[in-house]
């Protein structure tokens, strides 16, 4: 079997290192994909000449990444934390499960609350902690401490807290270190969901958002969100992988093999829901080897710069307001209530602006509700997005706003 | 945007309808893939000329398939059954969860027992029902009835039973109709796991294995196992989809949209663990449109015929025995204990045979343990497998056996 060029230099050989970074240049894509097709077809043509088993030692491709959807990362860590809490509390089977409690800010992705229900936590014990503009919609550790203490006093067992770095709704950041400090008082598992903003943390200037991460139990991030990787690919890092396999290990006869039995390889089936898995780590590895750190950082910084530019446009136009300070490449803004306009009128104006804009087929805005207000979300992140697209989207927003405000 | 030819006739235009069916003919693969690459590259080249939103009504591509791994199909149906049982029992939150019980034959895939633990069922309430050669390792409905009755008498709440059509270990078939009849007495959710053998049921002659399926609550099958579809793709049919969404629905502001609110489309996020999903239904649709029913049936029948041929080889050689009657394209066989050889000696001989054979790099056998005996599994199912491969594998098995028996 032939193999793709494994010389590291070959991977970073993008056509012109000096030109602006175009991660999805169509002609490069075409050339690479045709090459891949021939590789696959040659493989099938010559498959009979190859041994049934590869001539490599199990584990030679060291996979440091466990990659599956964010929802699964949350579910498996919730289950591990649940079972550890049951063991600590001396529960007979799941008898104490109705006493376990879990925590997250109200801005946390809905998939967290669903994963809690899947894992059997009592819906009444899933705490959604209110946030407000005073913390820029991040989790308030003082509130977290009060609620965990009250639960403990009531005979409940705090088990798991999810802190988000870059919420879906508004890119809010929960204070990871402070959350970890509170959780440590109650022996609670801390999971950090950095699905989106984790990609930004490849740049040193964004890494402070993860301060304290060395004290958490697990963290997940999804390169398919913002790191040029196809859906789906989520990385899950767990401080102690045995805490996952304690809950998720199975050992049927037909899967027994020397490499697993001897501990020579880590059997990822024991850290996930299913048994089979696609080799999602490969596509992330290809992205990293193709572009390299510098190009990937350029990609993130370029998106953030475009979002910053859009934010400046919004601030310079007094019909609008930026509702939540921008942390990454999402701008949460709205037509503001001015003059005789009530906040409710402004909500309606923003809803009409969004609908009219989306009808043009030239741009697409999604919305959220933050602090009871209808808010528009302008997200930069498409691989093909350039500054001119942001400028023309802003022109369209201004024009559409004028047409509905007059 | 251009589109692939949507004329149904164009899809079945395999090069030569009279020739033997070669689903992965390398030169066809090469041609199709190069065409697909140009389609993708042209799309990116022309992406700016296209509207941001497609000009189609939501739901125009009616997706009747919910497709995710088998483990997820089990998990979401277990959770739906769990929550329904809790509601029926008048449980306050999950207070009654420690009373719920689940059932499956001991031959059921390990992923079922893991999914039960994920969903919070008490490990002591997960019943693995022993099977034996008297039912060809299928679930005995009389035993199921006895155990469910005993549990009910003990104040427990039977909740879910998983029946398998074609177990991983030996392709055993649980009697679907009889299991459904027993389950109905206790208002228990019946799930059928036909991950592998469900594909065979596209042929009328295998469909009797599903008799009674009209009385179950859910069934899953995985076209990636045996229907020429890439990993991963699992189809889950549920009698009443609302029973899934009752447990799995979420409704965050940033996902609200008119098409879902009006009921114009079914939001599949409410029937699965995560929110995002790959369009797995598309690849299955492409397989069905490319090959058509007749070619897919030919593919199944050809694999079964090859397995039958191998089974005949085994039966004709008195050094071997077929351990479990063959139902589909898996033959479970072993060197039998003859003369002074004990069953333990035979176990060891089979282990050595497997190891020596796998070392050749020319064939690969996996094993299982059935009725306490070490058994070899010869599976036909690779897309590229032909009769000559089966013949040469058998020759190799005979030769290797002779070398270790002498």
Q: Which residues pair with A163 in a beta bridge?
A: A192
pLDDT tens sequence across A155-214: 999 999 999 999 999 999 999 999 999 999 999 999 999 999 999 999 999 999 999 999
pLDDT tens sequence across B134-148: 999 999 999 999 999
Number of H helices, E strands in chain B: 12, 11
Tell me the average pLDDT of chain A: 88
User: What domains, with CATH codes, occur in chain B?
Assistant: 70-278 (3.40.640.10), 293-405 (3.90.1150.10)
Q: What's the average model confidence in pLDDT over B48-67?
A: 67
Q: Is A324 within 8 Å of A172 (Cβ atoms)?
A: yes
A64 touches chain B (CB under 8 A): no
Substitution target from B22, B24, B50, B69 for chain A, most A beta carbons within 10 A:
B69
Q: What is the pLDDT of residue A242?
A: 85
Share of chain B above pLDDT 90, in %: 64
Confidence band, pLDDT 50/70/90 cuts, at residue A13: very low
Q: CA-CA distance, B385 to A247, in Å (whole number)?
A: 38
Q: What's the average model confidence in pLDDT over B292-296?
A: 93
CB contact under 8 A, B275 and A125: no
- A380 CA to centre of own chain: 15
Q: Is A161 within 8 Å of A318 (Cβ atoms)?
A: no
CB contact under 8 A, B274 and A111: yes
Q: What's the average model confidence in pLDDT over A378-404?
A: 92
Does pLDDT of A218 surpass 70? yes
Helix then strand then coil, % of chain B, to nearest 5: 50, 15, 35
Q: CA-CA distance, A228 to A382, in Å (whole number)?
A: 9
Q: Using alpha carbons, select from B383, B380, B332, B355 the residue that is nearest to residue B167.
A: B332
Partner residue facing B254 (CB), from A24, A70, A366: A366
Q: Which one is catalytic: B44, B103, B254, B291? A: B254
Return the residue of A nearest to B114 by Cα: A248
C-beta atoms surrounding B351 within 10 Å: 14
Q: What is the pLDDT of residue A17?
A: 53
First-residue to last-residue Cα distance in chain A: 68
pLDDT tens sequence across A309-327: 999 999 999 999 999 999 9
Q: What is the pLDDT of residue B13?
A: 41
How do strand B235-238 and strand B218-221 relate by DSSP bridges?
Answer: antiparallel
CB contact under 8 A, B361 and A121: no
Q: Which one is catalytic: A43, A103, A254, A291? A: A254
Least confident of B60-69, B214-223, B328-337: B60-69
Name every chain B residue with its beta carbon within 8 A of the beta carbon of A276.
Answer: 69, 231-232
Name every chain A residue with its beta carbon within 8 A of the beta carbon of B361.
Answer: 51-53, 55
Partner residue facing B71 (CB), from A79, A169, A275: A275
Q: CA-CA distance, A124 to A152, in Å (whole number)?
A: 15
Q: What is the pLDDT of residue A60?
A: 66
Please name the residues in contact with A7: beta carbons below 8 A apart, sequence gap of 6 or more: none
Q: What is the pLDDT of residue B269?
A: 75
Q: What is the pLDDT of residue B282?
A: 87
Partner residue facing A71 (CB), from B29, B123, B275: B275
A113 touches chain B (CB under 8 A): yes
Strand extents, DSSP E, A18-177? 66-67, 100-105, 126-129, 157-164
Write the secondary structure of B94-163 as one string of H (helix), E (strand) and C (coil). CCCHHHEEEEEECCCCHHHHHHHHHCCCCHHHEEEECCCHHHCCCCCHHHHHHHHHHHHHCCCEEEEEEE
Q: Is B234 within 8 Å of B65 (Cβ atoms)?
A: no
The label of the residue with tokens 């098995």 reads: B397
Q: What's the average model confidence in pLDDT over A128-145?
A: 96
Does A399 or B48 have the greater pLDDT score?
Answer: A399
Q: Is B333 within 8 Å of B323 (Cβ atoms)?
A: yes
CB contact under 8 A, B120 and A120: yes
How do strand B330-335 and strand B373-379 relate by DSSP bridges?
Answer: antiparallel
Name every chain A residue with its beta carbon within 8 A of the beta carbon of B358.
Answer: 52-53
Confidence band, pLDDT 50/70/90 cuts, at residue B103: very high
Note if B254 is an active site residue.
Answer: yes
The label of the residue with tokens 């927003």 reads: A397
How close A130 comes to chain B (CA, Å)? 15
Return the residue of A nearest to B170 by Cα: A254
C-beta pairs of B220-223 under 8 Å, 24+ apart in sequence: B220/B70, B220/B73, B220/B74, B220/B191, B220/B192, B220/B193, B220/B194, B220/B195, B221/B194, B221/B195, B221/B196, B221/B197, B222/B69, B222/B70, B222/B195, B222/B196, B222/B198, B223/B199, B223/B284, B223/B287
Share of chain A above pLDDT 90, in %: 64
Least confident of A233-237, A295-299, B252-256: B252-256
Q: What is the pLDDT of residue A1?
A: 33
A106 touches chain B (CB under 8 A): no
Does pLDDT of B11 surpass 70? no
Name every chain B residue with its beta carbon within 8 A of the beta carbon of A377.
Answer: 254
pLDDT tens sequence across A52-95: 777 777 666 654 455 567 888 999 999 999 999 999 999 999 99
Q: Is A381 within 8 Å of A226 (Cβ atoms)?
A: yes
CB contact under 8 A, A125 and B72: no
Q: Is B41 within 8 Å of A26 (Cβ atoms)?
A: yes
Please name the residues in contact with A117: beta carbons below 8 A apart, sequence gap of 6 or more: A123, A126, B79, B247, B248
Name every chain B residue with its beta carbon within 8 A of the beta carbon of A350.
Answer: none
Collapsed DSSP state (helix, strand, coil) of residue B192: strand
How do strand A66-67 and strand A100-105 relate by DSSP bridges?
Answer: unpaired
Q: Using alpha carbons, select from A184, A187, A168, A164 the residue that is nearest to residue A176.
A: A164
Kindly provide the ipTM of the predicted complex, given to two decimals: 0.83
Residue A121 sits at φ, ψ, to 5 deg, of -65, 145
Q: Which residues of B383-404 are buried (b: 16+ CB within 10 A; e: fewer)?
A: eebeeebbeebbeebeebbeee
**Burial level of A300, CB count in 10 A (0-12/13-18/19+)?**
buried
Tell me the average pLDDT of chain B: 88
Does pLDDT of B67 surpass 80? no
A231 touches chain B (CB under 8 A): yes
Q: CA-CA distance, B179 to B144, in Å (whole number)?
A: 8
Does B9 or B178 have the greater pLDDT score?
Answer: B178
B33 touches chain A (CB under 8 A): yes
Share of chain A above pLDDT 70, in %: 92
Interface of A with B in 83-102 (CB under 8 A): 93-95, 97-98
CB contact under 8 A, A124 and B93: yes
CB contact under 8 A, B273 and A117: no
Interface of A with B in 153-192 (CB under 8 A): 168-169
Q: Is A311 within 8 Å of A326 (Cβ atoms)?
A: yes
Q: Is A182 within 8 Å of A140 (Cβ atoms)?
A: no
Return the residue of B nearest to A222 by Cα: B276
Partner residue facing A361 (CB), from B53, B93, B358: B53
Helix (H) or strand (E) holding B375: strand B373-379
Does pLDDT of A32 surpass 90? no
Substitution target from B273, B356, B396 for chain A, most A beta carbons within 10 A:
B273
Partner residue facing A368 (CB), from B24, B47, B253: B253
* Alpha helices (runs of H) in A119-257, residue ranges in sequence order: 141-153, 176-185, 223-226, 241-248
Q: What is the pLDDT of residue B1?
A: 33
Count interface pairs A-B at CB distance under 8 A: 200
Q: What's the average model confidence in pLDDT over A321-339?
A: 95
Q: Which residues pair with B219 in a beta bridge?
A: B192, B237
pLDDT tens sequence across A276-291: 777 888 889 989 988 8
A56 touches chain B (CB under 8 A): no
Return the residue of A nearest to B372 by Cα: A253
Interface of A with B in 326-365 (CB under 8 A): 358, 361-364
Q: What is the pLDDT of residue A3?
A: 41
Collapsed DSSP state (helix, strand, coil) of residue A66: strand
């Amino acid at each position: 079997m032939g193999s793709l060029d494994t010389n590291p230099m070959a991977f970073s050989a993008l056509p012109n290192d000096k030109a602006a970074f175009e991660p999805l240049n169509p002609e490069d894509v075409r050339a690479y994909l045709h090459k891949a097709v021939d590789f696959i077809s040659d493989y099938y043509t010559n498959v009979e000449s190859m041994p049934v088993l590869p001539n490599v030692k199990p584990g030679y491709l060291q996979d440091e990444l466990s990659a599956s959807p964010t929802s699964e990362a949350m579910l498996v860590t919730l289950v591990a934390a649940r079972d550890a809490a049951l063991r600590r509390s001396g529960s007979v089977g799941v008898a104490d499960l109705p006493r376990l409690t879990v925590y997250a800010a109200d801005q946390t992705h809905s998939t967290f609350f669903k994963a809690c229900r899947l894992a059997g936590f009592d819906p009444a014990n899933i705490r959604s902690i209110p946030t407000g503009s005073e913390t820029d919609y991040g989790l308030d550790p003082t509130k977290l401490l009060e609620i965990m203490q009250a639960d403990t006093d009531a005979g409940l067992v705090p088990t798991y807290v999810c802190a988000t770095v870059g919420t879906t709704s508004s890119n809010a950041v929960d204070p990871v270190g402070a959350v970890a400090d509170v959780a440590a008082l109650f022996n609670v598992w801390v999971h950090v969901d950095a699905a989106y903003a984790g990609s930004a943390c490849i740049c040193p200037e964004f890494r402070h958002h993860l301060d304290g991460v060395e004290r958490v139990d697990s963290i997940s991030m999804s390169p398919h969100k913002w790191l040029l990787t196809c859906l789906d690919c989520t990385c899950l890092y767990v401080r102690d992988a045995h805490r996952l396999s304690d809950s998720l290990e199975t050992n049927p006869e037909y899967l027994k093999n020397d490499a697993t039995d001897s501990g020579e390889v880590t059997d990822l089936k024991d850290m996930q829901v299913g048994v089979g898995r696609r080799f999602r780590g490969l596509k992330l590895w290809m992205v990293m080897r193709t572009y390299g750190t510098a190009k990937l950082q350029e990609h993130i910084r370029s998106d953030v710069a475009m979002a910053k530019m859009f934010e400046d446009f919004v601030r310079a136009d007094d019909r609008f307001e930026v509702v939540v300070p921008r942390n990454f490449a999402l701008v949460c803004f709205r037509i503001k209530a001015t003059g005789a306009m009530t906040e409710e009128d402004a909500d309606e104006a923003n809803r009409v602006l969004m609908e009219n804009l989306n009808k043009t087929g030239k741009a697409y805005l999604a919305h959220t509700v933050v602090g009871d207000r209808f808010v528009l979300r302008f997200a930069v992140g498409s691989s093909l997005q350039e500054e001119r697209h942001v400028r023309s989207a802003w022109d369209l927003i201004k024009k559409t706003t004028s047409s509905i405000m007059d």
